[in-house]
């Protein structure tokens, strides 16, 4: 079974492997980044911003 390409909302790359959060897709590498990213990490606000964008869209 072929998995469709989906555009990752974090990095914008089209990939087949990743997770779906609400209706959105986060690719596996980004998911791994998020899991290991510490709250103190400078990348953390970026992830939160991306996640919030999904959330706001879902609740608009
Ligand atoms: Zn990604």
Indicate the domain borders of the chain.
6-58
Give 15's pLDDT tier (boundaries 50, 70, 90): very high
pLDDT score at 29: 93
β-strands 14-15, 6-7 pairing: antiparallel
Residue 26, pLDDT above cutoff 70: yes
Q: How far is the centre of ligand 1, averaged over its atoms, from the C-alpha of 41 (Å)?
A: 18
User: Span 41-54, mean pLDDT?
Assistant: 81
If pLDDT is split at 50, 70 and 90, which confidence band does 28 have?
A: very high
For residue 60, report the distance from its CA to the centre of ligand 1, in Å: 24
Spell out the residues 6+ positions from residue 43 whose beta carbon is closer than 8 angstroms to its own.
33, 37
pLDDT of residue 20: 87
CA of 45 to the centre of ligand 1 (A): 16
CA of 22 to the centre of ligand 1 (A): 16
pLDDT of residue 27: 94
């Amino acid at each position: 079974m072929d998995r469709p390409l989906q555009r990752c909302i974090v990095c914008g790359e089209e990939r087949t492997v990743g997770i779906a959060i609400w209706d959105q897709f986060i690719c596996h590498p980004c998911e791994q980044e998020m899991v290991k990213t510490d709250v103190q990490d400078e990348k953390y606000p970026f992830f939160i911003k991306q996640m919030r964008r999904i959330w706001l869209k879902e609740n608009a």
